């Protein structure tokens, strides 16, 4: 029954701009994250441990907008959001606008485990991480040459100097994971740097439970990617769960309705979802979405564009 799905954001690099090396690097990052999550599930571990393990790998990989490789805000700084939710008890933990924690998802997990709050922000999140003995880093750790270039193009766009529109990849991205373990437990985790040139202090949907992240046993686990304001207004992740729980919608129907609503809003979006049977849906309305799955039989598949999702190996 165990299965796992991940995403690395719907803000993919246009196919024409991908070099063979960067294309393969992104696929390798997805594969490594799936391997990490599946190692937990294959050993009989919990879904919540699997999604954390997968997201840590994505946060450490420069191809994705989370942790090392996160986008820069309007001031040229990094502010990081993350959330994790355990479907067994609805336990949840999140941080927003953190600036100095190497792996935001690890901090979110500790927030969940302490149980005295659900969401910590900014300096409070970093202080908590230090108190918990988690690894702290300078802002420079998160910055890559590519993200600096994206920030520069956003700055030029604001000044009216661009000769072509910015791509989805230059604007935003997110990473996330959803899992079902052998006992049918569900969990979801999401982590992001937000969107390029965002207002200082802005918080998106990733750390808002019911918007970009949600998990409830017997129903569904969801992680979303795209312009967070749309997901917050729609309550997208919880809406999917409500359709399944109260209307008995199928997983496919529930996520299709959610995507149709986001598309009608003009939102470039993607989401991954898994239900209590281990069935998975990975949906996006953009040119591509970094994504991957491990099915119950151990078959590992990854893809970036609509036509390149394929089996890579069997674990």
C-alpha distances out from residue 236 to 127, 143, 149, 212, Å: 31, 30, 31, 7
pLDDT of residue 161: 66
pLDDT of residue 44: 97
C-alpha distances out from residue 90 to 48, 216, 234, Å: 11, 6, 20
User: Percentage of the chain with pLDDT > 90?
Assistant: 87
CATH tag, 3-314:
3.60.20.30
Residue 171 banded pLDDT, cuts 50, 70, 90 = low
How many other β-carbons are positioned within 10 Å of the β-carbon of residue 155? 16
Rounded average pLDDT over 121-139: 98
Residue position matching structure tokens 């990473």:
175
pTM score over 0.85 = yes
Q: Are the CB atoms for 95 and 107 separated by under 8 Å?
A: yes
pLDDT of residue 1: 81
Q: Is the pLDDT of residue 61 over 70?
A: yes
pLDDT of residue 23: 92
The residues that are catalytic are 174
Q: Is the pLDDT of residue 188 over 80?
A: yes
| 60 contacts: CB under 8 Å, gap ≥ 6 | 67, 68, 103
pLDDT of residue 256: 98
Q: Are the CB atoms for 87 and 216 separated by under 8 Å?
A: yes
pLDDT of residue 115: 84
């Amino acid at each position: 029954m165990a299965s796992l799905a991940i995403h690395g954001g719907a803000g993919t690099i246009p196919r024409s701009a991908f070099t063979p090396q960067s294309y393969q690097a992104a696929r390798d990052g997805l594969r490594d994250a799936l391997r990490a999550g599946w190692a937990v599930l294959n050993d009989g571990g919990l879904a919540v441990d699997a999604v954390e393990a997968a997201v840590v790998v994505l946060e450490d990989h420069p191809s994705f907008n989370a942790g090392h490789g996160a986008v820069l805000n309007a001031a040229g700084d990094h502010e990081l959001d993350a959330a994790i939710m355990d479907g067994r008890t609805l336990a949840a933990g999140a941080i927003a606008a953190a600036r100095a924690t190497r792996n935001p998802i690890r901090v979110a997990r500790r927030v969940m485990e302490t149980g005295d709050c659900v969401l910590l922000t900014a300096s409070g999140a970093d202080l908590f991480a230090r108190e918990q003995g988690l690894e702290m880093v300078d802002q420079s750790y998160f910055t890559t040459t590519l993200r600096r270039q994206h920030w520069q193009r956003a700055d030029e766009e604001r000044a009216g100097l661009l000769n072509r529109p910015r791509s989805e990849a230059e604007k935003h991205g997110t990473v996330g994971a959803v899992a079902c373990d052998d006992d049918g437990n569900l969990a979801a985790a999401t982590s992001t740097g937000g969107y390029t040139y965002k207002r200082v202090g802005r918080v998106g949907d990733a750390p808002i439970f019911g918007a970009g992240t949600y998990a409830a046993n017997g129903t569904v686990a969801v992680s979303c990617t795209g312009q967070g304001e749309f997901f917050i207004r729609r309550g997208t992740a919880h809406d999917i769960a409500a359709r399944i729980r109260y209307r008995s919608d199928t997983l496919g129907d529930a996520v299709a309705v959610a995507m149709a609503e986001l598309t009608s809003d003009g939102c470039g979006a993607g989401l991954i979802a898994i239900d209590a049977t281990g069935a998975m849906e990975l949906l996006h309305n953009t040119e591509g979405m970094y994504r991957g799955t491990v099915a119950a039989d151990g078959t590992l598949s990854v893809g970036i564009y609509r036509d390149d999702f394929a089996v890579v190996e069997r674990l």
